[in-house]
Amino acid sequence: MNRPELSTAELEVMKVLWDKGTGTVKDVQAALPDKQWGYTTFMTLVVRAYEKGYLKREKQGPAYIYEPVVSQKKTMGRMVRGFVDRVFDGALGPLVNYIAESKELSPKEMEELRKLAKSLEKGDKK
């Protein structure tokens, strides 16, 4: 299924539901206390993610319980691919080069990149 992309705010909602497994709009709102959004904004974001096909829902009493139907890994992969296509014309090399040359990488992140490069040279898939 070719789902529309999530907005930044919808992605935040999805991260809560991926972490919790299921939840109501109130659960999502409680998990993001730093957001100054009202309940109706949270409801709009959850319903949009549902309408885009990322969530299923089941009525329980007066509320709906929402559950992700698309994995976080699959969603993130699709979003990264879209970013690479838009920004780097689909080429991964320039993105990896940009990351590798970034001064913002921690020593741990640099080591993870080295391990990934060695794994790719060996033909391993992660």
To the nearest whole number, what is the mean pLDDT of the chain? Answer: 91
- Give the pLDDT score at 125: 57
| Residue that the structure tokens 């993001």 belong to | 32
CB atoms within 10 A of CB 104: 6
Section 63-92 average pLDDT: 93
Section 15-36 average pLDDT: 96
| Res. 101 pLDDT band, cuts 50 70 90 | confident
- Give the pLDDT score at 124: 62
**pLDDT tens track for 53-65:** 999 999 999 999 9
pLDDT of residue 27 exceeding 90: yes
Section 85-93 average pLDDT: 90
pLDDT of residue 33 exceeding 80: yes
What pTM was estimated for this model as a whole? Answer: 0.79
CB atoms within 10 A of CB 6: 20
Q: Domains of the chain, with CATH numbers?
A: 8-68 (1.10.10.10), 74-122 (no CATH)
